[in-house]
Structure 1
Amino acid sequence: MRDTPDNAGSFDAKPVSSLSNPAVKRLAGLHLKKNREASGLFLVEGLRAVIEGVELGFHLDELVFVERLRDLPPGRRLARLIAGTGARALEVTPEVMIKIARRDNPQTVIGAFRRRDHGLDAVTPTPGALWVALEGIKDPGNLGTVLRTLDAVGGDGVILVGDTCDPWSVEAVRATMGSLFVNRIVRTTKAGFLDWRPGWTGRVVGTALTAAVDYRTVDYRPPMLVMMGNEQSGLPPEMVAACDQTVKIPMLGRADSLNLAVSTGIMLYEVVRGRHPLREA
C-alpha cells in the first residue's frame, strides 16, 4: 500500500500535564506485573518500536508522546497508522513522561500494547521450525536478548517453562529491541511441558552440565527445539531426560560458565551454521 504524504498525518490527542491524572497513574502502573496481568497490556518505549508493533499487527491501546513528535515525519506516519484504530493518544509534558517511564531522560514515545499469549498448541514441528525452551529463566535482560537473537536467526518463538521472569516487563521488552513483536511467546508449567513433549516430533537438544558431547558435533536438522536452563542451576534432571541430545559448550579459559543469553546465542548460530553452510566462491 502506498504511503500518504508526511503532512497528512495528525494526532487527535488529549493534552495531559497533571502527574495525578488517572491515565498517567494507570500507565505508570504497568511497570508492575500484577497490573500487566490484570489489564493484558504492556509498555513499549520508543517511536521506532511502537511503529513496528503497530505495523506487525499488535493492538495499540494507548499512545503517550511529547509535543515535538508532531513535527517529525515518523510521528506523522504513526498518526496515520493508528487513525481509526481506537487507540487513545495523550500529549504529555516531559515531567509526565518521566513519571510514566519511571526513569530520567525517557523516550519521547511510549505505547501501551495488548499482549499476545500463545499456548503449546502453537509449537508445531513444521519444516524448518526453530524454537527455544527456557526453563526457569529469571533475568528479563537475558530473556529479551534471547528473543532478539532468535529473531536474528529467523526462529519461531520461545517456550517459557516453569517459574520465569515476565516477558512483558519493561526490562524484557526493552532488551528485545522490537523483536518481541515477531516471536511467539508460550508460557507453561514444567508438568505441562513434559506432558506435551512426546508430541513434538522434531529434535530436542539441550545444554547440560553433565553433557560430554561438544555442541559443534551434533546434527541440528529441523524441526529443532533448543532447551536451555536456569541462569544458576541449568536444566534440572527431568528436563535433561526430555532431550534427545545434551551438549556442552567447552570452557577453554578460567571461566567455568557463560551468560545464559550468550550461550543461547552460540547454540542458535550453530543451528544456523548447519542450515546455511558457507560455500566456496
Structure 2
Amino acid sequence: MTGTRNSGRDRHCVKAALAEVEKLHSDRNYRQASGLFYVEGVRNFVSAIDRGLDISTLLFSEKLLTAPLARKLVRQSRRSGVPTVSLTPEQFRRISHTPRASGVSAILRQPWVELPKVSPQTGLCWVVLESVRSPGNFGSLIRTSEAIGGAGFILVGGRIDPFDPNVVRASMGSIFRQAFVRTTFSQLHRWMRSNHCCGVGASPDGAAELHQFDYPRSTLLVLGEERRGLTPQQRNLCQHFVRIPMVGKADSLNLAVAGSLLLYELYRTAKK
C-alpha cells in the first residue's frame, strides 16, 4: 500500500515538473511572475552548480545521463535536499530542445542583482540595453562579454528577458558568469553620476571610429536595438558616441556583431 501511495505521488511530481518546464519554455509572463528559468544540458547544469545558483527543481534521466561529473553532482544535490525528479528517457526527451537529450536539466531561480549593489569597476565594462530584436543575438553578445571579462548587462525597462530559453541556449553557459541588473533610466542616471561613469554609445553619427577612441575605465557601453539604433533616452546616458566603419552597402550590423566589435575594442584598449 505504501508503495502505491509513493508511486502515485511520484507520478504527480513528474507531471507537475513537466508542466512547469513547458510553461517556462513558452510563457515569459510565467517566467517573470515565478522568478524561475529552465536550463538543459551538462554544461549548463555544471555551470549553475559552480556559481551556486538556487535550484528549484532538478530533473534527470538515469539512462540518458552518462557524464560522470554530472551524475556525481546530481547525487550530491539530492543528498543536500534539492528537490529532484527522476524521468524516463521518453519523458526527458519530451522537454528536451537539443538534438541529443543530455539527461539532466534544472529549474533555477533567476539571479538578478540590484543596481546599487554593483560597481562600475567590476569587470572590464557593463553593457546597457533597452531592447533587442533577436534573443539569439543577445545570447551571443553575452558570450562575448564573458569572453573579454565584462561584468554583465544593465537592462533598462522590462522589454528584455535574459532568461528566455533562446538566450540561455545561445549563451553556451556564459550567462552564469555574467550579472544582470534591471533598472529605470532615472535610476541609472543617478547611479552613473554617483559612480562617475562614462556612457559610450554606438551610433553611425559617432564623432570617432571605434578604434580611435580612448575608452575611460568606468565605461558603460550603450547599444541600441538592431533596427532603430539608440533611443533618445539611451542617447541621454552617453557622453561620447563611436561609430563602426562600413565601406560596403550594408548600413547596419546586428547586435551580436556590433556589440562584439566594441567589446573587443574595449578589451584591446584596456590591455595597452
Same fold (TM over 0.5): yes
* Residue of 255, 258, 263 corresponding to 1:268: 263
Larger mean CA deviation between 242-251 and 60-69 belongs to 60-69
Q: CA deviation at 1:96?
A: 1.8
C-alpha distance in structure 2 between counterparts of 1:245 and 1:86, whole Å = 51
| 1:46 shift after superposition | 0.4
Aligned to 1:183: 178
Unaligned 5+ segments in structure 2 are 1-7
Report deviation, 1:128: 5.7
Query: What does residue range 1-281 of structure 1 map to in structure 2 within 5 Å?
Result: 21-31=15-25, 32-69=27-64, 71-101=66-96, 105-126=100-121, 129-277=124-272
Q: Secondary structure at the match of 2:127?
A: strand
- Counterpart CA distance in 2 for 1:39 and 1:67 is 28
Alpha-carbon distance in 2 for matches of 1:15, 1:146: 43
* DSSP 3-state at the match of 2:227: coil
> Matches of 1:72 and 1:165 in 2, distance apart?
33
**Structure 1 segments of 4 or more deviating over 3 A?**
14-20, 69-72, 101-107, 194-197
Code of the residue aligned with 1:175 in structure 2: it is A
* RMSD (Å) for aligned C-alpha atoms: 2.5
Give 3-state SS (helix, strand or coil) of 1:257's partner.
coil
CA distance in 1, matches of 2:167, 2:96: 14
Gap change, CA 1:255 and 1:70, over 3 Å in 2: closer
How big is the shift at 1:106?
A: 3.8
- Normalized per residue, which structure has more helix? 2
CA displacement at 1:127 relative to structure 2: 6.9
Identity of aligned residues (%): 36
Residues 19 and 138 of structure 1, relative CA distance in 2, 3 Å threshold: farther
The aligned amino acid for 1:89 is T
CA deviation after TM superposition for structure 1 residue 235, in Å: 0.7
Q: If the length of structure 1 is used for normalisation, what is the TM-score?
A: 0.84
Q: Is the 8 Å Cα contact of residues 45 and 70 (structure 2) preserved in structure 1?
A: no
Q: Distance in 1 between matches of 2:169 and 2:68?
A: 23
Task: State the TM-score, normalized to the length of structure 2.
Answer: 0.87
- Structure 1 128/262 Cα, relative in aligned 2: closer, same or farther at 3 Å? same
